Amino acid sequence: MADAKTQIDEIVKSQDVVLFMKGTKSMPQCGFSSKVAGVLNYMGVEFADVNVLADDGIRQGIKEYSDWPTIPQLYVKGEFVGGCDIITEMTLSGELDTMLEQKGVGFDKDAAEKIREANA
């Protein structure tokens, strides 16, 4: 598992925003992954996607790396942010906007506001 952990660490530290997910951002293969990728895509966040279904070592390794049992998992500037429920809550509360701004990650503020309006 050390190789997977090293690989995960390199991915997380080399990309500003990374989503470990089932499937890809253009073809998610689970509802939770689809929801998080959809939010990021809609908000115009540039992010790397890692399909955990393509590599069982990564699939198991990411759970140990973050000490988080579920996928998807979002990382911003090397920091674990959370899974689907946490990202959804952060999006609706505006917390995700604040975190992205603080970390210097570009996104469409109007799109973020539209998500909140649609869920109000």
| Element holding 63 (H helix, E strand) | helix 56-66
Ligand-binding annotation for 84, yes or no, is no
Specify whether the CB–CB gap between 8 and 67 falls below 8 A: no
> Can you point out the beta strands (E) in 22-85?
48-51, 73-76, 79-82
Cα separation of the two ends of the chain:
43
Annotated binding site: 30
Annotated binding site for [2Fe-2S] cluster: 30
